[in-house]
């Protein structure tokens, strides 16, 4: 094999990774932004994995019935909101642990989605449109890599908006205060528990949209193996991103690229370690978590009330 | 009255499930009756329930034992799969050796591999402060990937065409049925391990020290307990139990290691351990309950045409209600 052909293979591998990052990162992005809002309020919702799956199912079902993928997105967000409210209310009961409720909601949301989604495995729902940004190039691979879904720019804009809102709006301030020091927030007259319930509900809304992306764009169908831990990885991603929405967006792109590693190598003809390459995002998450966490020290930027950090 | 929340949760779950089933256009009371009948209504139902309860007891210990040390581990499914795979390799390597020795080594291989896998989460928690709940679930996904990689790669039996599997362990080394019933000996193993775990936690210095670590890690450090080692040990023993569940499934049910091994017992164990409030003996009763729910699935499907996910919905509802009724418990905050 000559050097030139090797170079081309690396180049197209990188392009495939870039395309994969653009394509696969959207669910990570939406779930992590949602979880970021929830964790800023001082609670953690591990159930977003279930919300993601349920959002994928309900979004697909509504898009199929109405013929509009946008109504599907709305339905996915709405059902995510309901699951978020459920988590928020349950955790507001005294002596109820938010991490445990998250695990229960993960199993509950997934089971419910599988039950209600049985009739949706066959039908074909309309998918979300994509934006063609690579029209200037004659290289089909570049065109393919730059064919992005409409939710990605929306999500990135949302990340910047959230970063601004956390600092510059009354809502953002109240949210951060409740998450950092509930006693102080109470003393200043902020309703701690309602703020947390709203934060969990909004987080669920965004996670539901992330799920709808899976069923309405990529892979673009509903089946029971649709999500494999994306919702959970997004929760870990928020910690790695130090509760900053813009860094969440960057981390989501990184995770997308890691998730695209398996398929990209496969398209290059490397198929032997397919399962191992598919595990790349999980391994990456573990490595990043052990780098950003460190025993004995508190996490910089962590909301003070977060049970994940204080335990 | 620590049973009150449990009874209330069971009642609310039954009502919620009936309402849900009715809202989907299925007969609610028939569905509830069928759950009872499919779980405990006949000798056949009992055998089905008990066969499922055996691995679930052990995967529940994978949650219950680390919980004593204050860790919330939910990745038992990965330990089960890798433990089962390790156990399936023993008879292939040691073909012809005595049955007792091979079965003993299978159990040991499953225990050590499963335990090591979960101990990894404990180590990450103690050394790096990484949240063990998230890391253990990530490790479960990684474990599944490693399992598939090996079973569809170098460990694959070329004779397994449609369903990639390892070489069969052979009838000689398989674990048989308890005389007089159609339930394998794994059930007895499960009982014994649960009782052993209870004894270990209740009547030994190790169990007491682990409880102190779980109750107040800082105090434990202060009185000079080896906190890290106790955490690691609790994780290792819990993961070992899950790995043993994998070994039993291989030796008594499947006869080789294949993807069917990952049937969700690891996740059912989480619910069971919480229902038992992480008590090793309570886990036995919880496993019967959740095993029964699983056993009723085929009956619901056959008689009422309910999707097979109905049992998942029921388990999810039970889990959520159990936690919600924790609020009635006066004993104080349960940290995990």
- 3-state SS class at A178: helix
For B74, the closest of A95, A103, A273 (CB atoms) is A103
Pair of tokens at residue B144: 């599944």
pLDDT value at residue A9: 74
The tens digit of pLDDT for each residue in B113-137 reads 999 999 999 999 998 888 899 999 9
Contact at CB, A112 and B128, closer than 8 angstroms: no
- Domains of chain A and CATH, by start: 22-310 (1.10.3470)
CB-CB neighbors (< 8 A) of B149 in chain A: 273-276
CB of A190 within 8 Å of a chain B CB? The answer is no
8 A C-beta contact, residue B87 and residue B155: no
Contact at CB, B320 and A94, closer than 8 angstroms: no
Mean pLDDT by 10 residues, chain A (311 residues): 51 82 90 96 94 97 96 97 97 89 94 95 90 81 82 96 96 95 94 96 97 93 88 87 93 88 78 82 89 64 74 43
pLDDT value at residue B286: 95
- The mean per-residue pLDDT over the stretch B244-249 comes to 98
Residues contacting A21, CB < 8 A, separation 6+: A253, A254, A256, A257, A260
Largest CA distance in chain A: 72
Per residue, the 3-state secondary structure of A95-122, as one string, reads: CCCHHHHHHHHHHHHHHHHHHHHHHHCC
**C-alpha count within 13 angstroms, C-beta hemisphere, residue A266:** 12
Count of C-beta atoms within a 10 Å radius of residue B234: 29
CA–CA gap between residue A48 and residue A210 (Å, rounded): 10
ipTM here:
0.91
For A279, the closest of B142, B152, B329 (CB atoms) is B142
CA–CA gap between residue A131 and residue B1 (Å, rounded): 61
Pair of tokens at residue B225: 């307990």
Contact at CB, B133 and A46, closer than 8 angstroms: yes
CB-CB neighbors (< 8 A) of B334 in chain A: 95, 97
Contact at CB, B319 and A107, closer than 8 angstroms: yes
The tens digit of pLDDT for each residue in B29-75 reads 999 999 999 999 999 999 999 999 999 999 999 999 999 999 999 99
Q: Which one-letter DSSP state was computed for residue A218?
A: S
pLDDT value at residue A308: 66
CA–CA gap between residue A202 and residue A223 (Å, rounded): 26
| Radius of gyration (C-alpha) of chain A in whole angstroms | 20
pLDDT value at residue A4: 44
Question: What kind of fold does domain B4-328 have according to CATH?
Answer: ABC transporter involved in vitamin B12 uptake, BtuC (1.10.3470)
Structural domain spans, chain B: 4-328
Pair of tokens at residue B20: 């849900």
Which of A274, A179, A286 is closest to A232 using CA atoms? A286
pLDDT value at residue B334: 52
The tens digit of pLDDT for each residue in B174-206 reads 999 999 888 999 999 999 999 999 999 999 999
B63 to chain A: nearest residue by CA?
Answer: A100
User: What's the whole-number average pLDDT of chain B?
Assistant: 93
Q: Which one-letter DSSP state was computed for residue B30?
A: H
CB of A32 within 8 Å of a chain B CB? The answer is no
8 A C-beta contact, residue A55 and residue A207: yes
Which of B197, B240, B227, B321 is closest to B73 using CA atoms? B240
């Amino acid at each position: 094999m000559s050097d030139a052909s090797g170079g081309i293979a690396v180049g197209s591998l990188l392009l495939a990774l870039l395309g994969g990052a653009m394509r696969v990162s959207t669910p990570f992005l939406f779930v992590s932004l949602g979880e970021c809002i929830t964790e800023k309020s001082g609670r953690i919702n591990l159930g977003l994995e279930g919300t993601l799956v349920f959002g994928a199912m309900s979004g697909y079902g509504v898009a199929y019935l109405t013929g509009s993928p946008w109504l599907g997105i709305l339905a996915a967000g709405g059902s995510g909101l309901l699951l978020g409210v459920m988590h928020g209310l349950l955790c507001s009961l005294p002596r109820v642990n938010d991490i445990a409720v998250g695990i229960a909601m993960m199993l509950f949301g997934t089971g419910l989605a599988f039950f209600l989604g049985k009739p949706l495995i066959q039908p074909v729902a309309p998918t979300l449109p994509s934006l063609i940004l690579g029209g200037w190039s004659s290289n089909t691979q570049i065109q393919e890599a730059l064919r992005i879904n409409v939710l990605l720019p929306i999500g990135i804009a949302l990340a910047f908006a959230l970063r601004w809102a956390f600092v510059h709006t009354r809502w953002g301030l109240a949210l951060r205060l409740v998450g950092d020091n509930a006693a102080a927030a109470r003393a200043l007259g902020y309703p701690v528990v309602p703020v947390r319930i709203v934060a969990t509900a909004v987080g669920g809304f965004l996670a539901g949209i992330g799920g709808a992306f899976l069923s309405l764009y990529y892979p673009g169908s509903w089946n029971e193996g649709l999500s494999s831990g994306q919702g959970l990885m997004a929760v870990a991603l928020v910690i790695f991103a130090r509760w900053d929405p813009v860094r969440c967006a960057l981390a989501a792109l990184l995770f997308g690229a890691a998730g695209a590693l398996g398929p990209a190598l496969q398209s290059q003809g490397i198929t032997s370690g397919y399962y191992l390459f598919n595990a790349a995002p999980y391994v990456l998450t573990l490595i990043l978590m052990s780098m950003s966490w460190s025993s004995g020290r508190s996490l910089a930027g962590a909301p003070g009330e977060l049970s994940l950090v204080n335990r | 009255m620590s049973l009150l929340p449990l009874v209330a949760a069971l009642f609310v779950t039954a009502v919620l499930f009936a309402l849900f089933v009715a809202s989907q256009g299925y007969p609610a009371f028939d569905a509830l009756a069928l759950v009872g009948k499919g779980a405990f209504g006949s000798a056949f139902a009992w055998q089905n329930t008990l066969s499922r309860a055996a691995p679930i007891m052990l995967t529940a210990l994978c949650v219950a034992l680390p919980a004593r040390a204050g860790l919330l581990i939910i990745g038992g499914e990965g330990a089960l799969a890798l433990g089962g795979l390790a156990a399936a390799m023993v008879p292939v390597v040691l073909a012809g050796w005595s049955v007792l020795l091979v079965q003993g080594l299978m159990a040991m291989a499953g225990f050590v591999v499963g335990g090591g896998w979960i101990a990894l989460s404990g180590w990450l928690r103690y050394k790096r402060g990484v949240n063990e709940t998230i890391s253990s679930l990530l490790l479960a996904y990684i474990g599944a990937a490693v399992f598939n990689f090996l079973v569809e790669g170098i460990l694959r039996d070329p004779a397994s065409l449609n369903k990639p599997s390892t070489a069969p362990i052979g009838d000689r080394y398989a674990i048989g049925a308890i005389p007089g019933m159609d339930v394998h000996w794994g059930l007895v193993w499960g009982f014994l391990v649960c009782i052993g775990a209870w004894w270990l936690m209740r009547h030994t210095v190790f169990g007491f020290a682990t409880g102190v670590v779980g109750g107040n890690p800082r105090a434990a450090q202060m009185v000079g307990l080896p906190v890290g080692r106790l955490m690691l040990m609790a994780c290792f023993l819990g993961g070992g139990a899950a790995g043993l569940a994998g070994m039993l499934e291989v030796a008594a049910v499947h006869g080789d290691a294949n993807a069917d091994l990952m049937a969700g017992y690891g996740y059912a164990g989480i619910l069971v351990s919480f229902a038992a409030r992480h008590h090793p003996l309570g886990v036995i009763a919880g496993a019967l309950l959740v095993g029964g729910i699983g056993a009723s699935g085929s009956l619901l499907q056959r008689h009422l045409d309910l999707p097979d996910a109905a049992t998942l919905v029921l388990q999810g509802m039970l889990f959520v209600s159990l936690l919600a009724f924790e609020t009635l418990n006066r004993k104080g905050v349960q940290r995990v």
